[in-house]
Structure 1
Amino acid sequence: MSRRADGVLLAFSWLTVLPVRGPENVDRHSAGRAIAFAPLVGLALGGISAALLWVSIAAGLSPLLGGLIAVGASALLTRGMHLDGLADTADGLGCYGPPERAREVMKSGSAGPFGVAALVLVLGIQAASLGQLAQLHMWWAIVCVSVIARVSAVVACRRGIDAATPSGFGALVAGTQSTAVVALWTGVATAMFTYILPDRPWQGALVVIAALAVAVILTRHCVRRFGGLSGDVLGAGIETTTALAAVGLLLGS
């Protein structure tokens, strides 16, 4: 099996509960390839979310309820690890002390007040905005939002970013993505978003730029605060980018 195929399989086996088996031996090279293909995982998950929302709306459910169903399904399909990362990152950013202390808080296994607040806010925004996109029959937008969320993970793992600890998920993927890969996926996301609003293609491009810029700022802040990149930070970036991109597409609608 080719390395490229191994990367795709590892991305799906890592980032979803789908019955996909990746390579048994994982090192930084294979982990980097998996992150490079993470947006393809977003494409699949976005398609599932769009389908669930279409069924929900067709069945007469409210857009908000449909959005909650789609968000819940996405959490199940990703083992809830991105939500766990969001909560842990929020708690780590909310605590006092050096990076070591922040990482201890993130590893505690329980969600503190900052984590709970972040989950409620981000999930609420996701559910409401995805439901409104479905109400407007913007099905392609729902898919694209899921893709750009994983593009943010590619951007976060760009060269020059160090891992917070010498072991763990962050150590496998931090600094693995070349400038070419980052530029490629940013371009793909921009092209996808320009087709969402044909009468305002510039808005789609601005949403991509703004959402990824926020992801870069969030990653930089977390790297400084935690002493490097961790898997939790990637999860937080994916969830927040999902919410920001969905809201950005709804502006002016």
Structure 2
Amino acid sequence: MTDHEETQTEMPAAAPGGSAGRRLTLAVTFLTGVPLKVEGEVRPGDLWGSMGWYPLVGLGMGLVAWGVYAGLLAFLPGLVAAALVVILLALLTRGLHLDGLMDTADGLLSGAPRERALEIMKDHNVGAMGVAAAILLLVLKVAALGALSRADAGAPLVAGWCAARALPALAVYRWPYAREVGTGEAFTRARAPGPLWLAGGLLGAGVIVAGLSGAWAGAAGSWYAGLVVAAAAAGVALGVQAAVAKRLGGLTGDVYGMGIEIAEAAALVAGCAVAGVAA
């Protein structure tokens, strides 16, 4: 997610007619570059409702990434395979969450007062702190994924990516929006608990899928790896977002995106820890 007003994600104006199918289509459209069409006017309730389906999109992305990583390991070294998977995932999301990470880093690490920090976060120009944050996080992702075997990569990629996309619904529900207007503000106008429960249920399903697929692949600690990875991803990302909310008086679309990136990195590091302990 990002808060540049001039670069707001367009919700195309035909998809499955049902509410669930429509909101799932919105989730896929917003989180990826898949060119699906959404029929009719998109209302704030649709945007908030679509967030309940985000973990399912993350689950699909994680399964694809795991399959690609396993295939690449057949003929490439681990670090090279990991770098290609991280690049693939960045392209699949159009760099949307990385943009949020960079904007947030520029604003918060500037040392500026709240209002000025929010202005910096909206600036199209990326500063040194934003570039540094993106590089460091991508290096961490590649290093952590490259250290995992074909089997052990399943839990962080499946449960971790699912958990990372369950967090925006919780963040939107838990904290106010820090600006009067912005891309993320539309998601906060109709906050009923239903999508939050849906996101939680899908996250639970993602953890189970990660455990079952890990056991099938012979992963170390497969029965608890998904749960540990999801907890680590959520704990680290929500902790950072709580600190940001205290600093800014709320969150923004950029901070939601940053949370997804941090959760993914935390999931991969936790996956390394689980593999090391269970080995």
- What TM-score do the two structures reach when normalised by structure 2? 0.81
* Aligned with 2:147 (options 119, 125, 132): 132
Structure 1 residues without counterparts, runs of 5 or longer: none
Partners of 1:92 and 1:114 lie apart in 2 by 9
Letter in 1 for 2:236: V
2:201 — aligned with what? 184
Q: Does 1:172 align with 2:186?
A: yes
**TM-aligned CA distance change 1:16 to 1:24, over 3 Å:** farther
**Aligned counterparts of 1:227 and 1:145: Cα–Cα separation in 2:** 28
Is the aligned partner of 1:7 residue 2:23?
yes
Q: Could you tell me which residue of structure 2 aligns to residue 212 of structure 1?
A: 234
- Matched-pair contact (CA < 8 Å) for 2:241–2:259: yes
Aligned to 1:115: 130
Counterpart residue type for residue 161 of structure 1: W
Question: Are 1:225 and 2:247 an aligned pair?
Answer: yes
CA 211–155 in structure 1, closer or farther in 2 if over 3 Å, else same: same
- The TM-score normalised by the length of structure 1 is 0.88
Question: In the alignment, which of 217, 235, 239 is matched to residue 257 of structure 2?
Answer: 235
Q: Give the % identical residues.
A: 32
Question: Which structure has the higher relative contact order (CA within 8 Å, separation 6+)?
Answer: 2
Picking from 49, 53, 57, the partner of 2:73 is: 57
SS in 2 for 1:61: coil
Residue identity matched to 1:184? G
Question: SS of the counterpart of 1:30?
Answer: helix
Secondary structure at 2:73 match in 1: helix
Structure 1 residue 24: Cα displacement = 4.1
1:35 alignment counterpart: 51
Query: For the Cα contact (< 8 Å) 1:130–1:246, is it kept in 2?
Result: yes
Greater mean deviation of Cα atoms: 176-185 or 35-44: 176-185
Matching residue of 1:249: 271
**Residue of structure 2 aligned with 1:156, choices 171, 182, 203:** 171
The alignment of Structure 1 onto Structure 2 pairs a total of residues equal to: 250
- The match for 1:106 is 121
Aligned mates of 1:115, 1:199 — CA distance in 2: 36
Residue identity in the other structure for 1:208: A
CA–CA distance in structure 1, aligned partners of residues 222 and 64 of structure 2: 26
Structure 2 unaligned regions, length at least 5: 1-16
More deviation in 110-119 or 137-146?
A: 137-146
Greater Cα offset, 183-192 or 28-37 = 183-192
Residues 160, 233 of structure 2: 8 Å contact kept? no
Distance 2:95 2:222 in 1: 34
What amino acid is aligned across from residue 115 of structure 1 in structure 2?
A: G
Is residue 68–residue 127 contact of structure 1 (8 Å, CA) maintained in 2?
A: yes
String of CA shifts for 1:187-220, please: whole Å, max 9, x gaps: 3354445554664644543332232122222222
